[in-house]
């Protein structure tokens, strides 16, 4: 079956640094990728929808300059948390859409900002 | 390692009929359990979640799910399906990390 690889699975960084998270579709071309964030004991919150070759569409309340999303190819989308602060510590997960229907999920990235 | 299975890839029910979507998980302890729905062209929407306490959980849109530890299951139910329920449903487990099941596509016949 289709696989979405998300890397890294765990990252610890100092406050003020930037962190890049990669989401790759390994055996299919994903025209659309989604980025979510989860706070402890909360549901997933959609942050942005990323279409290959175009700018990401951010959900209301998500800072575009803080969470940079790049979808440069049909198999790769990246989320960069710029100038990370402790409040950015969270679990981030991507998903990739195959065709118009099927959705596959990455395994997530736990970000801890010291 | 934790895993989630949803045995039914596609289910078709008639409008007004009852629904049960199956979810089984594998994890060494009791995980957090979720059911999400994705309608065409939409993002994921949380239907309900289980963290602890009462094993029968009520969610939005008339859905409920029951956690059965002995069966490692968290099946989603609805007594009467509406045409607008046609969507893809994902069971998810959060233990060491977040793992989604493969999804079950629900079609509703008029």
Are the Cβ atoms of A49 and B43 closer than 8 angstroms? yes
pLDDT in tens, A54-93: 889 998 899 999 999 998 888 999 999 999 999 999 989 9
Segment B47-71 mean pLDDT: 93
Hey, is the C-beta of A17 within 8 angstroms of any chain B C-beta?
no
Q: How far is CA B76 from CA A30, B25, B38, B49, B97, in A?
A: 29, 13, 15, 11, 22
pLDDT in tens, B28-46: 887 889 999 987 766 678 8
Residues in chain A: 114
Residue closest to A77 by CA, chosen among A101, A99, A93: A93
| Gap from B45 CA to chain A (nearest CA, Å) | 8
């Amino acid at each position: 079956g289709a696989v979405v690889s998300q890397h890294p699975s765990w990252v610890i960084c100092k406050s003020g640094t930037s962190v890049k998270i990669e989401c790759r579709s390994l055996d299919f071309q994903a025209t659309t990728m989604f980025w979510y964030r989860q706070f402890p004991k909360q549901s997933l919150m959609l942050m942005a929808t990323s279409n290959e070759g175009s700018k990401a569409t951010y959900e209301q309340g998500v800072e575009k300059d803080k969470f940079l999303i790049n979808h440069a190819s049909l198999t790769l989308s990246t989320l960069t948390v710029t100038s990370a602060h402790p409040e950015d510590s969270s679990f981030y997960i991507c998903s990739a859409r195959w065709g118009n229907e099927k959705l596959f999920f990455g395994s997530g990235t736990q970000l801890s900002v010291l | 390692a934790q895993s989630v299975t949803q045995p039914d890839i596609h289910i078709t029910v008639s409008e007004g009929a009852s629904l049960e979507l199956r979810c089984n998980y594998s994890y060494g302890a009791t995980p957090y359990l979720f059911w999400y729905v994705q309608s065409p062209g939409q993002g994921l929407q949380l239907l309900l979640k289980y963290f602890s306490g009462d094993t029968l959980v009520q969610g939005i849109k008339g859905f409920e799910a029951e956690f059965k530890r002995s069966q490692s299951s968290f099946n989603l139910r609805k007594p009467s399906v509406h045409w607008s329920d046609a969507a893809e449903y994902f069971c998810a487990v959060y233990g060491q990390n977040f793992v989604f099941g493969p999804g079950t596509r629900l079609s509703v016949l008029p």
